[in-house]
């Protein structure tokens, strides 16, 4: 029997031991390599583009030789104004990519011995940077689409006589959302969050190539897709897969997302759900990469991602 990929030695190419043994200098070097690969890890002034800078090693900063602007490796990126050490940041990234079903802010704050608020914002900044990878992506070939309701749980009353029909709109909390997934068979994954599943139609029209063959389940709102794509339908009450029609790739994404939300995060607010969904999609798309490659990928995405409008100063605005 072949070994599951995640159990094989190939899947492990970086460890927390290595991260903490490498020390601050080497961790800083790694961030520089990923920020300025075109200059071999040497700083490039973000203000004037000059490729020569003095090092202010004591403060881990640089000063541009041309315009004297002082900057650090994280200036202008989503990690700007960081207080955490580079080793801790790298450790956070390794912990994040090691969690095949994501990682909760509570667990991350315990592992890193930092405040919960710090871990919460850091994890979300990392997720935002990861999601940028698929921002302009269009899907081709065979694309499976489906929707999954998340959140808005209504606790049933203790006494049976007090219980309500939780399916009725008047008892809904307004927090329930649908994660729409579009997934190429053997390929990439895109997600979106909407209030109702039929709102997914517009998104699918925008993100899926008109030449693609779309597979969807029997839900009647998907009927509209027939006007735009070649569509194959599968009735799940009869079979999960029939004559090549199935949405099993979409379902396997939802399986990861449900485990992530149910087992790690427990409660996700509707306004952040799209970040958890994008994280789960990223994990699916990179499930065969070893953890060293995943960690480098995250560092590189983070270094290429601008300051976040949502997460910069989040706790100053949301106390
Ligand atoms: Zn400059």
Ligand 1 centre from 51 Cα, in Å? 8
**pLDDT-derived band at 1, boundaries 50, 70, 90:** low
pLDDT above 70: percentage of residues in the chain: 99
- The pLDDT tens digits of the residues spanning 202-240 come to 999 999 999 999 999 999 999 999 999 999 999 988 888
For the CA atoms of 249, 251, 253, 257, what is the dihedral angle to 10 degrees? 180
Enter the tokens of residue 164. Answer: 């309500």
> What is the whole-number distance in angstroms between the Cα of residue 307 and the centre of ligand 1?
19
Which is it for the CA torsion 269, 116, 86, 60, positive or negative? positive
Which band of pLDDT confidence, cut at 50, 70 and 90, is reported for residue 164?
A: confident
Dist. CA 64 → ligand 1 center (Å)? 5
Check residue 155 and give its pLDDT: 82
Which pLDDT belongs to residue 171?
76
Helix (H) or strand (E) holding 145, with range, is strand 142-150
How far is the centre of ligand 1, averaged over its atoms, from the C-alpha of 98 (Å)? Answer: 38
pLDDT of 277 > 90? The answer is yes
Separation of 52 CA from ligand 1 center, angstroms? 8
Q: What is the dihedral of CA 17, 292, 283, 38, to 10 degrees?
A: 130
Alpha carbon of 71 to ligand 1 centroid (Å): 9
What is d(CA 35, CA 43) in angstroms, rounded to the nearest whole number? 8
Query: What is the predicted pLDDT for the residue at 319?
Result: 65
- Mind listing the pLDDT tens digit for each residue in 47-73? 999 999 999 988 899 999 999 999 999
Ligand 1 center from residue 126 Cα (angstroms):
28
What is the torsional sign of CA 236, 240, 241, 242? negative
- Euclidean distance between CA atoms 249 and 31, whole angstroms: 35
CA of 42 to the centre of ligand 1 (A): 14
Structure tokens at 148: 């999954």
Kindly state the average pLDDT of the residues 197-201: 93
Q: pTM for this one? A: 0.91
Which of the pair, 175 or 75, is modelled with greater confidence? 75
Lowest mean per-residue pLDDT among 11-20, 148-157, 193-202, 247-256: 148-157
Distance 36 CA to ligand 1 centre (A): 15
């Amino acid at each position: 029997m072949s070994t599951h990929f995640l159990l094989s030695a190939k899947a492990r190419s970086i460890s927390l031991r290595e991260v903490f043994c490498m020390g601050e200098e080497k961790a800083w070097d790694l961030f520089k390599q990923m920020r300025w690969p075109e200059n071999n890890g040497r700083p490039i002034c973000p203000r004037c583009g000059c490729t020569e800078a003095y090092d202010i090693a004591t403060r881990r900063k640089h000063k541009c030789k041309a315009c004297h602007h002082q900057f650090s490796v994280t200036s202008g990126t989503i990690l700007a104004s960081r207080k955490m050490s580079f080793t801790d940041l790298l450790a956070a990234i390794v912990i994040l990519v090691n969690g095949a079903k994501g990682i909760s802010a509570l667990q991350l704050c315990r592992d890193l011995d930092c405040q919960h608020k710090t871990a919460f914002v850091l994890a979300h900044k990392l997720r935002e940077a990861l999601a940028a990878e698929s921002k302009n992506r269009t899907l081709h070939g065979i694309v499976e689409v489906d929707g999954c309701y998340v959140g808005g749980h209504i606790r049933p009353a203790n006494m049976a006589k007090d219980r309500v029909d939780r399916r009725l709109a008047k008892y809904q909390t307004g927090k329930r959302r649908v994660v729409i997934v579009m997934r190429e068979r053997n390929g990439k994954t895109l997600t979106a969050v909407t209030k109702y599943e039929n709102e997914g139609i517009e998104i699918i029209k925008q993100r899926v190539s008109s030449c693609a063959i779309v597979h969807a389940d029997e839900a009647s709102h998907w009927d509209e897709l027939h006007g735009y794509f070649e569509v194959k339908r599968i009735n799940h009450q009869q079979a999960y897969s029939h004559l090549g029609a199935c949405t099993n790739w979409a379902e396997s994404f939802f399986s990861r997302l449900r485990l992530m939300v149910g087992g790690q995060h427990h409660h996700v607010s509707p306004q952040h759900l799209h970040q958890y969904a994008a994280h789960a999609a990223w994990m699916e798309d990179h499930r065969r990469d070893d953890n060293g490659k995943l960690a480098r990928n995250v560092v590189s995405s983070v270094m290429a991602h601008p300051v976040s409008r949502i997460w910069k100063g989040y706790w100053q605005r949301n106390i």
